[in-house]
Amino acid sequence: MNTVWQTFGVMGLSLLVMGCQPPQQETVAEPEIALQDQQQMQNQITEMDQQIRSMVGMAYAEDAKQCRLAEVGHRPCGGPDYYLGYSTSTVDAEVLTKLINEHRELQQAYQQEFGIMGTCEVLPRPVVTLQGGRCVAVHASDR
């Protein structure tokens, strides 16, 4: 009789232990979906970059006071991807700044999400000058 109770005890304990374990879920990695997501984000980043460049256009200005310098994009180690001179006479600075910030945030999210690495070089900050009626970002070595 003692063995019958022991058997029931072991069975009960086994059921209790099995009931406490989380259900096993089948997780199948979907590399195709990840690649599609990565490609979609890359396409969005590229489209936004083209919008920024298109918005700035030729950056025509009549006075150097209309020239500004924008930091565009994000490098994996920090800092902008590139600098771009623009003119406040041809661009709404608030709209451009908003687009640049959205682009930067998307690029940062992409880099974090997919573990993108960079060369960690620091780009020297250029100055923006008026040359031939256009706002241009010029590096010290180019002056």
**Count of CA atoms in the C-beta half-sphere (13 A) of 82:** 8
> Tell me: the pLDDT tens digits for 29-61?
556 667 789 999 999 999 999 999 999 999 999
For residue 27, name the pLDDT band (cuts at 50, 70, 90).
low
- For the cut 80, the answer to whether the pLDDT of residue 124 exceeds it is yes
The answer to whether 40 touches 48, Cβ cutoff 8 Å, is: no
DSSP 90: T
With beta carbons less than 8 A apart as the criterion, state whether 130 and 61 touch.
Answer: yes
Mean pLDDT (the chain) is 85
Beta pairing partners, 109: none
Average pLDDT for 64-89: 96
Instruction: Indicate the SS3 state at residue 137.
Output: strand
Q: What is 25-89 written as a DSSP string?
A: ------HHHHHHHHHHHHHHHHHHHHHHHHHHTT-B-SSGGGEEEEEES--TTSS-SEEEEEETT
